Structure 1
Amino acid sequence: MSQSNNFTGGFFLGALLGGLVGGVAGVLAANRVPREESNASFGQLSEDLRQNLANMSNDERMEVARRGLEDKISELNAAIEDVRQQLGSTNGNGRATEYEASTTDS
C-alpha cells in the first residue's frame, strides 16, 4: 500500500515538474523565433506583383486568390484525366471504368 502512495505522489510530482520545464522551454523557444513581417508571405513574388498586391483591397486579393485556385484545380483535373486515360488503356481493351461510365451517364 505504501508503494502505491509513493508511486502516485511521484507520478504527480513528475507531471508537475515536466509541465513546468516544458512550459519554460516552450517560452524560451518561442522568444528565439524571429517575428516575421506582414509582407514576408510575399517573399517569393516579384517586386512588381508584391507592390500590386499591397495596393489591392481585400476583395481584390480574394478574387486573385480565387482565380489562382481555379487555375490549379483545372490543372489537377487535367492531370487526373491524363492518368485515368493512361490507366484505362493499360487495363485493357477499351473497357470503360466505373468512373467513366458514371460521368457519361449524367
Structure 2
Amino acid sequence: MSQQDNFSGGFLLGAIVGGVVGGVLGALLISQRLEETSEETLLKKADAPEVKAKGKKRPLRGSTEQNIELARRSLEDKIAQLNDAIDDVRQQLSSVNGQAIEVDREGSLTEEP
C-alpha cells in the first residue's frame, strides 16, 4: 500500500511540475514568436504601404459601365462552361445507368431507347 501511495503522489507532483514548466516554456516561446512576427510586419508595412490587408474588400467606387459589362460577359462565359460540364457529366451518368438521355439547350430531357 505504501508503494501505491508514493506512486500516486509522485505522479500527481510530476503532472503539476510538468504542467507549470510546459506552460512557462510555451509562454516564452510564443512571446518570442510574436515579437518576431510583429517586427516582420512592421518592416513589410514600411516597405510596401500600398499593400491591402487580406480580409478587406476593395470598394466598388470608380466602376465604370464598361468594367461592369466586361465582368458580366466573363460570368456568362463561365456559366456556359459550367452548363457544358454539367451536360457532359449528366450524359456520362446516364450511360452508366444504361439509359441514353438527351438534354437540349433549353434543359428539357428526352429519353432515347
Match of residue 15 from structure 1: 26
- Greater RCO (Cα-Cα under 8 Å, separation 6 or more): 2
**Alignment partner, residue 15 of structure 2:** 4
Tell me how far apart the structure 2 counterparts of residues 94 and 37 of structure 1 sit (CA, whole Å): 55
In the alignment of these two chains, the number of paired residues is 80
Structure 2 residue corresponding to 1:79, chosen from 78, 81, 88? 81
Q: 1:62 to 1:29 in 2, by over 3 A?
A: farther
Q: 1:9 to 1:88 in 2, by over 3 A?
A: closer
Q: CA deviation at 1:89?
A: 4.3
Q: Which has the higher strand share?
A: 2
Give the TM-score, by structure 1 length.
0.53
Question: Which 5+ residue runs of structure 1 have no aligned equivalent?
Answer: 39-56
Query: Where does structure 2 lack aligned partners over 5 or more consecutive residues?
Result: 1-11, 52-59
Question: Relative to structure 1, is the Cα distance of residues 6 and 89 closer, same or farther in structure 2, using a 3 angstrom cutoff?
Answer: closer
TM normalised by structure 2 equals: 0.51
Helix, strand or coil: the match of 1:32? Answer: helix
Which AA in structure 1 matches 2:101? G
Give percent identity, aligned residues only.
Answer: 6
Q: CA RMSD in A?
A: 3.1
Higher helix share: 1
Distance in 1 of aligned mates of 2:78 and 2:70: 12
* Larger gyration radius, structure 1 or structure 2: 2
